[in-house]
C-alpha cells in the first residue's frame, strides 16, 4: 500500500479537511478500494481515524452500510460507466442519509464514463447537498475531464507493486524530479539533456509525465498556501513555487493534462516527446 497516500489522507482526516470529492487513481483495484473504504469509514466513524470496530466501520467493511453507495460497472459486466447510473446518483443524492451524518458515494471505474456522463456528474460535484461525499476510483485520471479534476482532490497510488515495475517507476519519478528542478533554471540546457532519456526509452514518458504533474500540483498548492503535498518531492515543488509565477505553475499542470489527453488518443509519442521540452519551457517563462 502506498504509505504516502495513506499518510496524506490521515493528515487531512485529522485536520477535518477531507474534501467532499476525492479521486483515487493508480495502484491495483483492491488498493484503491482499501483507501476508499478507509476514507468512507473516516466520514462515518465516531473516532477521528476510523476505529474498524464500531457498527459503522464493520458495516462499511462488509459492504452493508446503507449510507455508503458503491457503483461498479464491472460488477454489472458493463464496459462503460453509463450516464443513467450517474442520473440515478443525482436523484438519490437528494434523499437524506439513512442513519449517518453523511452519504458516501464510491464510484468505481470513473474513468469509464464518457464525456456526457462526466458532465452529468459534474453538476452534482459542483452543488452537492451538504451531507454528500464522493470518492471516484479509476485506473488513470488522464481519462477524466479537466472540469471534473478541478472539483476533486486527487490521490495517486502509483502503478503496480511488482519489484521490477516499481524500480522502473522510481527511475521515472527521479527523472521527473530532475526535470522539474531543471525547469526552475533559466537556461534550458539541463532540461534538454535530461529529456533525451525519452529518446532511448519512450515508455518512461507517461510515467514521468504523471510524476511531474504531481510536482507541479504541489507547487500550485504551496503557492496558494495549502500544505497538502502529494508528491514525494516537496523540496522541488517549493523551488518551483519560489521561482515561477502561480499562472505559470497552473499552466504547467494544464500542459501535462494535455499531454495525457494526446497519449490517450494515441498521438505520435515521438512528436509529443519533442514538443514536451518547448511547451513546458514556454509555459514556465512566458511573460
Ligand atoms: Zn469506527
Cα of 154 vs centre of ligand 1, distance in Å, is 24
Residue that finishes a domain, picked among 156, 180, 200: 156
CATH of the domain at 122: 3.40.50.300
- Residues 66 and 151 both lie in one domain: yes
Higher-confidence position of 145 and 230: 145
Confidence at residue 183, expressed as pLDDT on a 0 to 100 scale: 95
Question: Which of 156, 173, 200 corresponds to the end of one domain?
Answer: 156
**Which pLDDT tens digit goes with each residue over 113-147?**
999 999 999 999 999 999 999 999 999 999 999 89
- Phi first, then psi, for residue 43 (nearest 5°) are -70, -40
Q: State the burial class of residue 196 (Cβ atoms within 10 Å of its Cβ: 0-12, 13-18, 19+).
A: exposed
Residue 227: CATH number of its domain: 1.20.272
Q: What is the 3-state secondary structure (H, E, C) of the chain?
A: CCHHHHHHHHHHHHCCCCCCEEEEECCCHHHHHHHHHHHHHHHHCCCCCCCCCCHHHHHHHCCCCCCEEEECHHHHCCCCECHHHHHHHHHHCCCCCCCCCCEEEEECCHHHECHHHHHHHHHHHHCCCCCEEEEEEECCHHHCCHHHHCCCEEEECCCCCCHHHHHHHHHHHHHHHHHHHHHCCCCCHHHHHHHCHHHHCCCHHHHHHHHHHHHHHHHHHHHCCCCCCCCCCHHHHHHHHHHCCHHHHHHHHHHHHHHHHHHHCCCCHHHHHHHHHHHHHHHHHCC
pLDDT digits (tens, 9 = 90+) for 14-30: 877 788 999 999 888 88
Ligand 1 centre and the CA of 96: distance in Å? Answer: 21
Same structural domain, 210 and 130: no
pLDDT per residue as tens digits for the range 57-111: 999 988 899 999 999 998 888 889 999 999 999 999 999 999 999 999 999 999 9
Domain count of the fold of the chain:
2
In angstroms, what is the span from residue 60 Cα to ligand 1's centroid?
Answer: 9
150 & 168 share domain: no
CA 195 / ligand 1 centre spacing (Å): 48
Q: Are residues 29 and 132 in the same domain?
A: yes
Pair 38, 94 in one domain: yes
pLDDT for position 166: 59
Where is the domain boundary, 96, 123, 156?
Answer: 156
Q: Report how far ligand 1's centroid is from the alpha carbon of 42 (Å).
A: 8
Burial 144-182 (b: 16+ CB within 10 A, else e): bbeebbebbbbbbbbbeeeeeeeebbeebbebbbbbbbb
pLDDT at 48 over 50: yes
Tell me the CA distances in angstroms from 24 to 19, 59, 78, 127, one per residue in order: 13, 22, 21, 21
Ligand 1 centroid distance, CA of 158 (Å): 28
Q: How far is the CA of 86 from the centre of ligand 1 (A)?
A: 29
* Cα–ligand 1 centroid distance for 54 (angstroms): 4
- Rounded to the nearest angstrom, the distance between the alpha carbon of 126 and the centre of ligand 1 is 29
Q: Distance from the CA of 160 to the center of ligand 1, in angstroms? A: 29
> Would you tell me how many other CB atoms lie within 10 Å of the CB of residue 267?
13
Among 29-33, 51-55, 74-78, 276-280, the minimum mean pLDDT is found in 74-78
Q: Are residues 133 and 211 in the same domain?
A: no
pLDDT at 163: 36
Give the Å distance between the CA of 23 and the centre of ligand 1. Answer: 22
Q: Which residue is associated with the grid cell 490521515?
A: 10
Are residue 14 and residue 145 in the same domain, yes or no? yes
Report CA-CA distances (Å) from 215 to 73, 160, 249, 260. Answer: 32, 20, 10, 16
User: What's the pLDDT tens digit per position in 172-229?
Assistant: 889 999 999 999 998 889 999 999 999 888 888 988 998 898 899 889 989 988 767 7
What pLDDT, on a 0 to 100 scale, did the predictor assign at position 1? 58
**What does the block give as the cell for 49?**
481515524
Say yes or no: 263 and 221 in one domain.
yes
Task: Report CA(159)–ligand 1 centroid distance (Å).
Answer: 30
Closest among 149, 210, 144 to 175, alpha carbons compared: 210
* 220 and 126 both lie in a single domain: no
Looking at residue 161, its pLDDT comes to 41
- Rounded to the nearest 5°, which phi and psi values hold at 213? -60, -40
Span from the CA of 58 to the centroid of ligand 1 (angstroms): 7
For ligand 1, the distance from its centroid to the CA atom of residue 43, given in whole angstroms, is 9
46 CA distance to ligand 1 middle (Å)? 6
Give the Å distance between the CA of 198 and the centre of ligand 1. 47
Residues 120 and 145 in one domain: yes
Binned at pLDDT 50, 70 and 90, residue 160 comes out as very low
Instruction: Measure 16 CA to ligand 1 centroid, in angstroms.
Output: 16
Q: Ligand 1 centroid to 48 CA: how many Å?
A: 9
Say if pTM beats, i.e. exceeds, 0.75.
no
For the chain, percent of residues with pLDDT exceeding 70: 96
At 233-278, the pLDDT tens digits run 889 999 999 999 999 999 999 999 889 888 877 788 888 998 998 9
Residues 145 and 263 placed together within one structural domain of the fold: no
Residue 94 and residue 42 share a domain: yes
Residue span of the structural domain in which 168 resides? 163-285
Amino acid at each position: 500500500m502506498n504509505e504516502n497516500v495513506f499518510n496524506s489522507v490521515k493528515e487531512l482526516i485529522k485536520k477535518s479537511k477531507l474534501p467532499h470529492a476525492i479521486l483515487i487513481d493508480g495502484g491495483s483495484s483492491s488498493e484503491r478500494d482499501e483507501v476508499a473504504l478507509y476514507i468512507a469509514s473516516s466520514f462515518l466513524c465516531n473516532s477521528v481515524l476510523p476505529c474498524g470496530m464500531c457498527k459503522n466501520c464493520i458495516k462499511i467493511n462488509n459492504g452493508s452500510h446503507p449510507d455508503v453507495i458503491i457503483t461498479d460497472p464491472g460488477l454489472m459486466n458493463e464496459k462503460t460507466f453509463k450516464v443513467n447510473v450517474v442520473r440515478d446518483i443525482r436523484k438519490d443524492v437528494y434523499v437524506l442519509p439513512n442513519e449517518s451524518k453523511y452519504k458516501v458515494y464510491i464510484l468505481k471505474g470513473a474513468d469509464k464514463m464518457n464525456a456526457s456522463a462526466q458532465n452529468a456528474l459534474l453538476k452534482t460535484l459542483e452543488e452537492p447537498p451538504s451531507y454528500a461525499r464522493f470518492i471516484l476510483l479509476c485506473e488513470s485520471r488522464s481519462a477524466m475531464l479537466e472540469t471534473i479534476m478541478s472539483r476533486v482532490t486527487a490521490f495517486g497510488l502509483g502503478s503496480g507493486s511488482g519489484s521490477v515495475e516499481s524500480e522502473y517507476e522510481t527511475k521515472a519519478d527521479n527523472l521527473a524530479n530532475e526535470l522539474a528542478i531543471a525547469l526552475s533554471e533559466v537556461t534550458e540546457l539541463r532540461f534538454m539533456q535530461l529529456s533525451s532519456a525519452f529518446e532511448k526509452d519512450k515508455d518512461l514518458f507517461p510515467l514521468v509525465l504523471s510524476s511531474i504533474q504531481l510536482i507541479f500540483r504541489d507547487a500550485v498548492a504551496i503557492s496558494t498556501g495549502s500544505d497538502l503535498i502529494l508528491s514525494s518531492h516537496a523540496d522541488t515543488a517549493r523551488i518551483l513555487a519560489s521561482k515561477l509565477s502561480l499562472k505559470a505553475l497552473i499552466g504547467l499542470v494544464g500542459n501535462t493534462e494535455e499531454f495525457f489527453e494526446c497519449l490517450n488518443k494515441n498521438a505520435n509519442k515521438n512528436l509529443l516527446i519533442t514538443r514536451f521540452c518547448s511547451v513546458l519551457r514556454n509555459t514556465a517563462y512566458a511573460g
